[in-house]
Amino acid sequence: MKIANRVALAAAVFSSFALTLAPVEALLAKDSIKIGSFLAVTGGASFLGDPELKTLQLYVEQINAAGGVNGKQLELVHYDTAGDAKKAVNFVKRLIKKDEVDIIIGGSTSGTSMAVIPTVEEEKIPFISLAGAVSIIEPVKPWVFKVPHTDRMAAERIFADMNQRGISKIALISGDGGFGKSGREQSLLLAPKHGIEVVIDESYGAKDTDVTAQLSKIRGSSAEAILNFGFGTGPAIVTKNVRQLGIDLPLYQSHGVASKTYIELSGDAAEGVRLPAAALLVADKLDDKDPQKLVLVDYISKYENKYGSAVSTFGGHAYDALMIAVAAMQRAGSADKAKVRDEIEKTKGFMGTAGVFNMTPTDHMGLTVDAFKMLEIKGGDWSIIN
Amino acid sequence: MPLRGFSLLTLVAIALPFLFPDNYYVTVVGTTAAVHAMLAMSLNLLMGYAGQISLGHAAFFGMGAYSSAILTTRWEWRPLLAMVAGLLLTGVVAYLISRPILRLKGHYLAMATLGFGIIINILLVQTGWLTGGPDGISNIPPLSLLGWQVDSDLRWYGVMSAAALLVLWINLSVVSSRSGRALRALHTSEFAAQTMGIDTTVMKSKIFVLAALLAAAAGSLFAHQQAFVSPGSFSFFFSVELVTMVVLGGLASTYGAIFGAVALTFLPELLVVFEDYEVMIFGAILMLTMIFLPQGFYVAVEQRLGRWWAARQGGA
């Protein structure tokens, strides 16, 4: 009897255990969709990775609270690359082999994105990059997508504006960092197509505190406008120096300076400077009928409510990537890698923070030049010009 | 030359993929650990045995990697030929700078090697037409040995472990040779070594070139394994990481260098579970090791085990 009792008790305990564990187990097993991410949250590029990670965390939480995707919860697996390409490659392998994620969103910098492409292509997993370089999606690689605008588009937008103003000869001055260099290359490549001649091509170092020497040369040239491609404090110094030298040419900056810090650093000298920028920067100034305004205002309020800090376009890229991925999974009805890849490629008319995405088998970014707004700095604030 | 440790490591390297087939820690992290081990061993020859500090070792690693990357992608050289060219280039550069640089001592030598490392890094960033600038070079073809393509993680694990074992073997032979004894003499007292008839200038320059060559070879393999190189992977910070590996394991111990390399490769991988605290815990481990085991973790453990063993033998 005793033994039978014990067996019965054990069986009861065991089965109740099994019953309580079962749903947990099921949840752990495959009832979640795993989103892998590798971002530069620390290190020199943390201004990119930090808002990107915060955005992913915020929206994964939101989507899960609203019932998840295809009835499954999302699970975010993240590793910090500190902007190191070597680490990025290992972490992506880890995401694929160990964590067995369904899709990868990440690569804050062009370097880390480029580094993982061979792995992603070989392992056949959809990858949406958050970095700028055109080379990520050109030539097109089946499994690689990206959401931010490229520097080529910025150059095109600027040249279009110059054409409107009848400017045909420009001086180019660029920073010697990755961003400035890439922008310079794209500008030199595109200028002839817009009938614009680069009459003088100067550069400055990232740590230079004065560029009057280069600008004096520009003053002596036949340029009708100055275009500055750069990042960080460089463009602010260029802006100040231009005004100090009394150069009266229109000054164009790139989307690299699209933050309030630039206006603060340049002060009055920034008056009249034009630059292409994502609509996120001027969300409150958009027309109420603009469908993008709704998306932007919603993103900005959610982000700022949760983290209490200002949004940046970089976090917006993470939002776009995640939403495109989620929409593709919903259309595919599963997280099957090949199907999701096909569906991402079919993304049509998706309104993101960067603009409207229309992807095709030959265009794995899907944005057009219109995604950039042309801004002019007036009275220490941005204003949209058309 | 005692080969017990060498044989043991060979066995472990062969056994691991059989015990844990297609395991991330073996084929991916293990491969990285092998690369780091090669670099730490080569740096240890210079720092541990010859007593010449170098804060620019990543530069030689980068020269090997970039030579392979540039020659195979831009001029479509064969990987092996490109590797040999990279070794030649690195060897010549290392020889040319070794004479003036190794006349310096202590902090001045550290400064000079640091400067060299930074100069190479700036060159990699600034000569965009050749190196692709900050964006680096992608699409580096995989290594192929007599028609055998090294294209999977497992194969790379095999190649890198074999290369690391080869470097270990070279290390052991150098250390146990006459030159090795000369080197240690040099480390203890350069002046005394000179009075014993050792040409310390030639000796130092030889070991500097050898260390550079081993690092460049590792770099070549690394470039093919990653299929991508960018200047960030060969920065000053990586040089410091290499010095940390050597010091963590224990100077003047080849196995210590391997231990340091393996430990510093695996620790961050294991610590990612702590997320935000990862870097802090990592730093704390390094600090505690240096405070309590200043001669290096591996060397300290080895000495203690040796003493314990001797005491047991004596007691019995």
Q: Could you give the CA distance from residue B248 to residue B180 in angstroms, rounded to a whole number?
A: 22
pLDDT at A253: 94
Partners of A80 in beta bridges: A39
Question: Does B311 fall in a domain?
Answer: no
Residue B38 lies in a domain: yes
Which residue reads 């469908």 in tokens? A291
Kindly determine whether residue B135 and residue A97, on different chains, have CB atoms separated by under 8 Å. Answer: no
Residue identified by tokens 């200043």 is B294
Residue segments in chain A with a per-residue pLDDT below the cut of 50? 1, 14-27
Q: How many CA atoms lie within 13 A of B311 on its CB side?
A: 6
Does residue B25 fall inside a structural domain? Answer: yes
Q: Judge whether B147 lies within some domain.
A: yes
Q: What is the structure's pLDDT at B302?
A: 86
Tally of domains in chain B: 1
- A234 and A180 Cβ atoms separated by less than 8 Å: yes
Average pLDDT score over chain B? 89
pLDDT at A18: 45
Cβ atoms of A167 and A196 closer than 8 Å: yes
- The question of ipTM being above 0.90 is answered as no
Bridge partners for A146 per DSSP:
A129
Position B10 in a domain: yes
Averaged pLDDT for residues B233-238: 89
- The answer to whether the Cβ–Cβ distance between B230 and A89 falls below 8 Å is no
Q: Which tokens go with A102? A: 């369904």
> Judging by beta carbons within 10 Å of its beta carbon (0-12, 13-18, 19+), is residue B162 exposed, middle or buried?
middle
pLDDT reported for residue A52: 93
Most B-contacting residue of A39, A46, A57, A86 (CB-CB within 10 A), to test interface: A86
Task: Tell me, yes or no, whether B289 lies in a domain.
Answer: no
Q: Cβ contact (<8 Å) for B32 and A176?
A: no
Supply A57's token pair: 């965390």
Please state, as a whole number, how many other Cβ atoms lie within 10 Å of the Cβ of residue A71.
7
Q: pLDDT at position A135, please?
A: 83
Residue A24 neighbours by CB distance under 10 Å: 9
Structure tokens at A228: 């500055």
Question: What's the first-to-final CA gap in chain A, in angstroms?
Answer: 90
Average pLDDT, integer, range B126-150: 83
SS3 state at A201: strand
- Name residues 233-262 of chain B within 8 A of A (Cβ): 233
Distance linking the first and last C-alpha atoms of chain B: 29
DSSP B225-239: HHSEE-GGGGSHHHH
- Min Cα distance A147 → chain B (Å) is 18
Residue B55 sits at the vertex; the CA angle it makes with B53 and B58, to the nearest 5 degrees, is 125
Q: How far apart are CA B231 and CA B63, in angstroms?
A: 10
Question: What tens digit of pLDDT does each residue of B50-72 get?
Answer: 888 899 999 999 999 999 999 99
Q: Is B191 on the interface with A (CB under 8 A)?
A: no
pLDDT of residue A19: 45
Residue B23: its pLDDT value, please?
83
Q: Which domain holds residue B73?
A: 4-236
Q: What is the CATH class of A32-150+292-368? A: alpha beta
pLDDT digits (tens, 9 = 90+) for A301-356: 999 999 988 888 889 999 999 999 999 999 998 889 999 999 999 999 999 998 89
- B135·A110 Cβ contact <8 A: yes
Assign domain A152-283+372-384 one CATH number from 3.40.50.2300, 3.30.465.10, 3.40.50.80, 1.25.40.10.
3.40.50.2300
B233: CB partners within 8 A, 6+ apart = A84, A85, A86, B62, B65, B226
pLDDT at A12: 52
Q: Do A84 and B233 count as a contact with CB atoms less than 8 A apart?
A: yes
pLDDT in tens, B124-133: 988 878 888 7
CB-CB under 8 Å, A85 with B24: no
Q: Which residues contact A93 (CB under 8 A, 6 or more apart)?
A: A119, B24, B28, B153
CA-nearest residue to B22 within chain A is A97
Instruction: With beta carbons less than 8 A apart as the criterion, state whether B241 and B261 touch.
Output: no
Q: CA nearest A44: which of A84, A85, A92, A90?
A: A84
Q: Does B228 touch chain A (CB under 8 A)?
A: yes
pTM higher than 0.90 for the full model? no
pLDDT one-digit tens code per residue, B85-107: 999 999 999 999 998 998 888 88
Whether B150 maps to a domain, the answer reads: yes
Contact A97 B272 (CB under 8 A): no
Residues on chain A bordering chain B, Cβ-to-Cβ distance under 8 angstroms? 42, 79-80, 83-86, 89-90, 93-94, 97-98, 110-111, 114-115, 117-118, 133, 135, 176-178, 181-182
Q: What is the DSSP letter of B20?
A: S
For residue A382, the Cα-to-chain-centroid distance in whole angstroms is 21
With respect to residue B316, please indicate whether it lies within any of the assigned structural domains: no
Q: In chain A, which residues have their Cβ closer than 8 Å to the Cβ of B226?
A: 85-86, 89, 115, 118
All CATH 3.40.50.2300 domain ranges of chain A, comma separated, are 32-150+292-368, 152-283+372-384
Nearest Cα of chain B lies from the Cα of A5 at a distance, in angstroms, of 44
Interface A-B: count of C-beta contacts within 8 A: 68
Mean pLDDT, residues B195-217 taken together: 91
